[in-house]
Amino acid sequence: MNLAQLLLENGINTDNWSHDRGNKTINDLQTEIELGESSLESIDGTLARIVKVVKIVVNVRLGEREFILVEDKQIFFTGAIRQRGIENLSEKIKPDETPTQAACRALKEEIGLDFDGELIFKGEETHQQNSPSYPGLNSYYQMFDYQIVLTAADLDRLRFSEVQQDKISLFTLVEKQNS
């Protein structure tokens, strides 16, 4: 059975899955599965996507102020724009990686940072949600949370955009509010 048929038979409408709409396609999901970045399982009779992910909060200290790196938006080559406002980097864990290795890969791929400092492990959690990338497909995320703290000396090693095959992701620094 092919993936499109499996999704349809499980009541998942993929008509709106399109890069033009700012989400992913059946081909993207097929690639994720083939690479071992996600899998599909039946949970309580419902087809669900299972994903292991690292999240890295990038804090930047500049003088007495603290900033957080935020993924501001994604601009797709189709012209579609997806506003993000996400205060962490994230990356799916590959089958041959530890969460720490995936976190270091995310820093390198997303912001060009070969990080050799302290990567602070903040914990692990699992949560479930309707996937924004694949509307209508319930997803379970096993999240491994990390944090790093950079200074002005690190900024020349950082880039604030990531060009991928189908889109550009833009990052900015936002001042952290005292809580």
Q: What is the pLDDT of residues 48-94, one digit of tens each?
A: 999 999 999 999 999 999 999 999 999 988 888 889 999 999 999 99
Regions in the chain scoring below 50 on pLDDT = none
**Alpha carbon distance 57, 167 (integer Å):** 22
Question: What pLDDT sits at residue 7?
Answer: 96
For residue 132, the model assigns a pLDDT of 87
For residue 123, count CB atoms less than 10 angstroms from its CB and return exposed for 0-12, middle for 13-18, buried for 19 or more: exposed
Q: Output the domain CATH number for residue 106.
A: 3.90.79
The strand pairing partners of 80, in sequence order, are none
pLDDT of residue 140: 97
The strand ranges marked E within the chain are: 38-43, 46-62, 65-76, 81-86, 89-92, 120-130, 138-151, 161-163, 167-175
pLDDT value for 88: 95
Instruction: Rounding to the nearest 10 degrees, give the CA dihedral for residues 126, 113, 72, 84.
Output: -20
Q: What is the pTM of this model?
A: 0.83
Number of domains within the chain: 1
Q: Looking at residue 23, what is its pLDDT?
A: 86
Q: Which domain holds residue 44?
A: 3-175
Q: What is the pLDDT of residue 19?
A: 82
Residue 56: the pLDDT is 98
| Inter-residue long-range contacts of 41-49, CB under 8 Å, 24+ positions, other chains counted | 43/138, 43/140, 46/10, 46/138, 47/6, 47/7, 47/10, 47/12, 47/137, 47/138, 48/128, 48/137, 48/138, 48/139, 48/140, 49/131, 49/134, 49/137, 49/138, 49/139, 49/140
